[in-house]
Amino acid sequence: MDRVPFDWPGRSASNPAHHRVGEFLVTDIQCSPEWARDLADKIEAVMSGKLSYWERTGNAFHLELSARGASIEDIVDESRPIETVPLPEFRTAVLTWLQQSQS
């Protein structure tokens, strides 16, 4: 994708999984605080053990949250590998995205 990458604390520009997180937020969560808040709630539920698993299919990506992390699959270009990041890193990105969407 040729959008400006979204940045958050701890993001590594050379990490393809971090790039995928940015793509997911820009494309599937967009500027919706409601979607970002719901996603943050689901991350917390999985991290706390209230949910063992949660998934969502959006415009361009399929997201799965589990104890393994946040796995993001490109459903437009299925030749791209699934990228996974630890839930704490994903939570930081989502919360930063939420802050920016509200400002």
| Residue range 16-40, pLDDT digits in tens | 999 999 999 999 998 888 999 999 9
Question: Taking a C-beta distance cutoff of 8 angstroms, is the pair 59, 72 a contact?
Answer: no
- Predicted confidence at residue 5, as pLDDT, reads 62
Higher pLDDT, 6 or 98: 98
Kindly state whether residue 96 falls inside one of the protein's structural domains. yes
How far apart, in Å, are the Cα atoms of 72 and each of 16, 102, 103?
Answer: 11, 24, 26
Question: Taking a C-beta distance cutoff of 8 angstroms, is the pair 61, 74 a contact?
Answer: yes
Place of tokens 């799965």: 64
Cα dihedral 16→18→24→29 (10° resolution): -170
Rounded to an integer, what distance in angstroms lies between the CA atom of residue 24 and that of residue 37?
A: 15
Kindly state whether residue 27 falls inside one of the protein's structural domains. yes
Kindly state whether residue 41 falls inside one of the protein's structural domains. yes
Higher pLDDT, 103 or 9: 9
Kindly state whether residue 1 falls inside one of the protein's structural domains. no
Domain that holds residue 90: 16-101
Kindly state whether residue 2 falls inside one of the protein's structural domains. no
- pLDDT of 47 > 90? The answer is yes
Instruction: Name the domain count of the chain.
Output: 1
Kindly state whether residue 57 falls inside one of the protein's structural domains. yes
